[in-house]
């Protein structure tokens, strides 16, 4: 028979009490994991250095997300989070079992995703270290597929990607360190506008041979403007007016005939806009050719956009000026509005055009859609067309939609 002194009994009671207190506090810590996961002091220390505090923060975060103890606590005390996590896990299994294109290095989901966490509206995908060594198309497929999946769950507000437990960009074309706002539209869409059609410029024929839907921006009042607009239309491309507009710097001769100038009256601006619409005949919208001065002028843009509204055209701001008022005036008038995200061929260099196109794709994957602008002629021409011919089929194979700008209105 074991006998305990009154002192030992008191110590045992105190120890049990402390154990229960610590256990209940730790359970609360796990259940309310986001209080630590997004605590500014802890997050800012993640991977900033090799200190014990930084490493400890990462380990704590990962324990709160992935440990069996955390899962058990969620199962008992936070059934909603547990159910969402299980649905996401089942969805991931389906995605990687049925939709991996041939040629990618992805064979088994367990080799790609170490574990999945969910806490209070945030899904965490912890990718395996080997993923860091994959090529860009594998990265695009994995991230796009997982974001597309989470769009199906209304409970998911943010998606955070990790590699072996720590924040990582994964690719120079994907900035994944910060949580990504969950998109509600499933497919990622890339729209590519090609400017300067109408002159039969270098690269024109190659652009017309692309199998993917692009948007042809045709300069009006050129010898071949209507002809090239009709060819693009027959190809299934969206056609828009590449409207010459006054820049802050540059030669007026660059603008051709009937440009939109800040010195013109409202009536003359409207007449020139209507003439451009009539010249092409098949345009569904317009974007600005140069125009850094004109797009910053509220009076000028109001005159242009009143005509656009009358003809139900989409206004696409090429963003040649940080002072542009196009979006603001579109909202006032109720004109459908889009804007350029990236210029693809600032320099006529294959590597730079390719990098810009991949960066555009990365933005579309994260945000759901993105618009890039390239050119026929001396700015890009055959170089830009060669990059698009090589990349666009690969993007479609991994689930990226290449679309005309009309598909992004209201997206």
DSSP string for residues in 245-262: E--SSS-GGGG-SS-B-T
Question: Which residues share a beta bridge with 195?
Answer: 375
Among the three residues 162, 181, 200, which one is the final residue of a domain in this structure?
A: 181
In a domain, 76, yes or no: yes
At which residue do the structure tokens 């618009």 appear? Answer: 371
Return the pLDDT at 44.
44
Give the domain CATH number at 386. Answer: 3.20.20.370
In a domain, 6, yes or no: no
- Examine the domain organization and report whether 153 and 293 are in the same domain: no
Q: Which residues have a Cβ under 8 Å from the Cβ of 263 and sit 6 or more positions away?
A: none
Return the pLDDT at 34.
47
- Examine the domain organization and report whether 158 and 304 are in the same domain: no
- Examine the domain organization and report whether 254 and 159 are in the same domain: no
Return the pLDDT at 25.
46
- Examine the domain organization and report whether 317 and 375 are in the same domain: yes
In a domain, 213, yes or no: yes
- Examine the domain organization and report whether 295 and 208 are in the same domain: yes
- Examine the domain organization and report whether 241 and 146 are in the same domain: no
pTM for the predicted model, two decimal places? 0.86
Q: Do 240 and 405 contact (CB within 8 A), yes or no?
A: yes
Q: Is 317 helix (H, G, I), strand (E, B) or coil?
A: strand
Among the three residues 181, 200, 216, which one is the final residue of a domain in this structure?
A: 181
At which residue do the structure tokens 């060594």 appear? Answer: 133
User: Residue 409 — left, alpha, or beta (φ > 0 → left; ψ -120 to 50 → alpha)?
Assistant: beta
Return the pLDDT at 102.
82
DSSP string, 272-308: HHHHHHHHHS--SEEEEEE-TTGGG-HHHHHHHHHHH
User: Residue 46 — left, alpha, or beta (φ > 0 → left; ψ -120 to 50 → alpha)?
Assistant: beta
Q: Is 214 helix (H, G, I), strand (E, B) or coil?
A: coil
- Examine the domain organization and report whether 263 and 402 are in the same domain: yes
Strand 122-127 to 113-119 pairing = antiparallel
**Total structural domains in the chain?**
2
Return the pLDDT at 30.
45
In a domain, 343, yes or no: yes
Among the three residues 152, 181, 210, which one is the final residue of a domain in this structure?
A: 181
- Examine the domain organization and report whether 173 and 223 are in the same domain: no
- Examine the domain organization and report whether 207 and 143 are in the same domain: no
CA angle centred on 246, ends 382 and 347, rounded to 5°: 25
pLDDT means over runs of 10, the chain (411 residues): 60 58 48 46 46 64 76 75 92 86 81 91 94 93 94 93 91 92 86 97 97 98 97 98 95 87 98 98 98 98 98 98 97 98 96 98 96 96 97 96 94 57
- Examine the domain organization and report whether 147 and 290 are in the same domain: no
Return the pLDDT at 40.
42
In a domain, 404, yes or no: yes
- Examine the domain organization and report whether 170 and 211 are in the same domain: no
Return the pLDDT at 9.
66
In a domain, 299, yes or no: yes
Return the pLDDT at 28.
46
Return the pLDDT at 41.
42
Per the structure, the complete domain to which residue 93 belongs is given by: 28-181
- Examine the domain organization and report whether 158 and 258 are in the same domain: no
In a domain, 174, yes or no: yes
Return the pLDDT at 124.
95
In a domain, 89, yes or no: yes
């Amino acid at each position: 028979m074991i006998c305990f002194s009154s002192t030992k009994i008191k110590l045992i009671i105190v120890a049990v009490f402390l154990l229960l207190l610590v256990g209940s506090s730790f359970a609360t810590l796990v259940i309310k994991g986001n209080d630590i996961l997004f605590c500014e002091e802890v997050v800012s220390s993640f991977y900033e250095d090799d200190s014990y505090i930084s490493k400890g923060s990462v380990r704590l975060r990962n324990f709160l997300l992935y440990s069996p103890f955390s899962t058990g606590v969620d199962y008992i005390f936070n059934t909603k989070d547990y159910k969402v996590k299980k649905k996401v896990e089942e969805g991931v299994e389906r995605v990687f079992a049925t939709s991996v294109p041939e040629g990618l290095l992805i064979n088994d989901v367990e080799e790609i995703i170490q574990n999945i966490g969910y806490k209070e509206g945030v899904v965490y995908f912890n990718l395996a270290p080997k993923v860091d060594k994959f090529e860009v198309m594998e990265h695009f497929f994995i991230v796009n597929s997982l974001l597309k999946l989470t769009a199906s769950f209304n409970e998911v507000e943010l998606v955070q990607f990790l590699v072996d437990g720590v924040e990582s960009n994964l690719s120079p074309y994907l900035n994944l360190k910060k949580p990504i706002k969950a998109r509600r539209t499933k497919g990622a869409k890339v729209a590519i506008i090609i400017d300067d059609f109408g002159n039969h410029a270098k690269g024109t024929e190659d652009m017309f041979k692309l199998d993917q839907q692009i948007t042809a921006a045709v300069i009006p009042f050129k010898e071949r403007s209507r002809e090239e607009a009709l060819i693009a239309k027959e190809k299934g491309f969206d056609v828009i007016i590449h409207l010459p507009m006054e820049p802050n710097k540059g030669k007026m001769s660059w603008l051709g005939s009937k440009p939109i100038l800040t010195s013109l009256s409202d009536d003359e601006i409207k007449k020139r806009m209507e003439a451009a619409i009539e010249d092409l005949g098949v345009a569904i919208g317009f974007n600005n050719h140069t125009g850094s001065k004109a797009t910053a002028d509220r009076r000028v843009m109001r005159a242009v956009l009143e005509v656009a509204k009358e003809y139900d055209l989409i206004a696409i701001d090429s963003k040649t000026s940080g002072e542009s008022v196009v979006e603001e005036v579109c909202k006032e008038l109720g004109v459908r509005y889009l804007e350029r995200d990236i210029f693809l061929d600032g320099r006529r260099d294959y590597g730079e055009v390719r990098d810009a196109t991949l960066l555009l794709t990365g933005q579309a994957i994260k945000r759901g859609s993105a618009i890039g602008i390239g050119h026929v002629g001396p700015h890009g021409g055959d170089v830009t067309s060669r990059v698009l011919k090589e990349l666009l089929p690969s993007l479609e194979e991994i689930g990226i939609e290449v679309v005309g700008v009309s598909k992004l209105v209201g997206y």
